[in-house]
Amino acid sequence: MDFIDWLLAIGLVAVITVAFGLLLPPYGYIGGALIGAFLAWRALRQRRELLKKQKDDNQ
Q: Is residue 46 part of a domain?
A: no
Check residue 26 and report its DSSP letter. Answer: T
Check residue 59 and report its DSSP letter. Answer: -
Number of domains, the chain: 1
CA pair distance 13, 33, nearest whole angstrom: 6
Q: Is residue 32 part of a domain?
A: yes
Question: How does pLDDT run across 26-54, given as a tens digit for each residue?
Answer: 899 999 999 999 999 999 899 999 999 99
Q: Is the peptide bond prior to 26 cis by the omega test (within 30 degrees of 0)?
A: yes
Q: Is residue 18 part of a domain?
A: yes
Q: Is residue 47 part of a domain?
A: no
pTM: 0.79
Range of the domain at 27: 9-38
- The answer on pLDDT for 55 being more than 90 is yes
Q: Is residue 24 part of a domain?
A: yes
